[in-house]
Amino acid sequence: MGPPDTDYENGLFTAVLTFPTDYPLNPPKMKFLSEMFHPNVYPNGEVCISILHPPGDDPNHYESSVERWSPVQSVEKILLSVVSMLSEPNIESPANIEAARMWRDNKKQFRDKVHRTVRKSLELEDEI
């Protein structure tokens, strides 16, 4: 369910976590099956947040190693990170350029699109 006091509030978004064979040494992947419009979610639904990035140093030098996956992370921590992501997108490293641009340049348009996505998740609207 979309977190309270966010544009995603009350939305019902289905996602899957896929665990690699070498889990917990490497992170699972998370993908929304429901339509999701967010700067840190690729158009295909894949979630892009630091905690789900492989452990170690970031080859792009954007994230510190402590922000990335470690075997001590839990599924609960992943879910909390995703809820936090919905509340506060990181538009400096977007997975969805259109969503990041809209968030930065036209918050009303962004919110309108997200609200349509929420309505669709509740089967109150057929198309976005």
Give the CA radius of gyration of the chain: 15
- d(Cα 34, Cα 11) in Å, to the nearest integer? 10
Q: Which of 36, 41, 48, 102 is catalytic?
A: 48
Task: Clarify whether 49 is annotated catalytic.
Answer: no
Quick check: 76 and 27 in contact, CB under 8 A? no
Catalytic residue numbers, as ranges: 48
